[in-house]
């Protein structure tokens, strides 16, 4: 990409998209196309086709998606599969029709099989059954990965894909019913401190192991891949390191400065028992994360206090 290249970031207000916009601007890219949902409904095929015909973007970061934690995925599966299928189908097809130079589609490591061999290599995709609590989302995102692969194979389109691990950062969703585990814990523990609560309830047993990547690192990796990778295989983006939900809660408790107890509601679902990505492919291309977990959580907690109270 040149600094003046016309770049469309789909989903620029979300956790992922906003980080990609920050990264692009910080690196001198000055010709970004940004549309709110009110300005462009990516679920509407006609609107997306017209947008691409008029704007003619050269590069596309497809970060728009309907996302949520275990609760949201479990309760609204029809919404998750429909909206995500429509978004990716409309954008990828319009990018092909309008000869976009390159498109990067973002998957998610939660779409790997529930019992994938750990650490998870890219080749594990579609090798086993999915985690039931997010099956609808996973099916849709897998379809997006496969679309990029097949448009590249049939038409020669330079459409690539990446598979970020669990992300956290500024502009995250802190709604306790629909958020992922990191923002949910930050909010719960912060509110417990403010309200002088004696204890905080965490869903599940606390034993699942998870990998967490600061969204600013993820955005840096996406821009790096856009400029340095053209392969058909999707690429994992992560740290290659893991922490239990129990230890994560303890770390957030320390950062927040909360002195009460953490209790675990074992009646709630745990999800996948372990999930950490093999990031050797990304390292071999020349990229590695830079923000450690404690520093990253401190950054997000400061942002939360300034913006979400």
Contact indicator for 110, 134 with CB cutoff of 8 Å: yes
The question of whether 137 is a catalytic residue gets the answer yes
How far apart (Å, rounded) are the C-alpha atoms in residues 57 and 60? Answer: 7
Residue corresponding to tokens 């704007």: 55
Distance CA(182)–CA(235), nearest Å, equals 23
Q: Which candidate in 137, 168, 258, 289 is catalytic?
A: 137
Q: Which residues lie closer than 8 Å to 102 by C-beta, 6 or more apart?
A: 1, 58, 59, 60, 158, 159, 160, 226
DSSP codes, 74-96: HH-HHHHHHHHHHHHHHHHHHHH
Do 126 and 138 touch, CB atoms closer than 8 A?
A: no
Supply the residues annotated as catalytic.
137
């Amino acid at each position: 990409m040149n600094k003046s290249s016309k770049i469309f970031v789909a989903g620029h207000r979300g956790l992922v998209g906003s980080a990609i916009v920050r990264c692009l601007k910080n690196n001198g890219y000055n010709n970004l196309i940004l549309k709110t949902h009110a300005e462009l409904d990516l679920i509407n095929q006609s609107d997306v086709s017209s947008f691409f015909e008029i704007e003619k973007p050269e590069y596309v970061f497809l970060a728009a998606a309907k996302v949520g934690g275990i609760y949201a995925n479990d309760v609204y599966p029809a919404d998750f599969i429909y909206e995500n299928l429509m978004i990716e189908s409309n954008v990828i097809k319009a990018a092909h029709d309008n000869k976009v130079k390159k498109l990067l589609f973002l998957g998610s490591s939660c779409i790997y099989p529930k019992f994938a061999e750990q650490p998870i290599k890219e080749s594990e995709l579609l090798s086993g059954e999915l985690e039931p609590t997010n099956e609808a989302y996973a099916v849709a995102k897998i379809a997006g990965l496969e679309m990029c692969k097949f448009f590249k194979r049939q038409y020669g389109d330079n459409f690539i894909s990446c598979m970020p691990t669990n992300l956290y950062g500024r502009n995250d969703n802190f709604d306790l019913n629909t958020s992922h585990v990191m923002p949910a814990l930050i909010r719960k523990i912060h509110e417990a401190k403010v309200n002088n609560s004696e204890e905080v309830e965490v869903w599940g047993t606390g034993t699942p192991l998870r990998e967490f990547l600061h969204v600013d690192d993820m955005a840096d990796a996406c821009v790096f891949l856009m400029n340095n990778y053209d392969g058909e295989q999707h690429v994992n983006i992560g740290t290659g390191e893991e922490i239990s939900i129990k230890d994560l809660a303890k770390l957030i408790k320390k950062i927040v400065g909360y002195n009460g107890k953490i209790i675990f509601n074992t009646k709630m679902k745990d999800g996948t028992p372990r999930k950490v990505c093999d990031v050797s492919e990304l390292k071999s291309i020349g990229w590695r994360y830079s923000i450690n977990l404690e520093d990253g959580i401190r950054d997000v907690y400061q942002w939360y206090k300034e913006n979400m109270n």
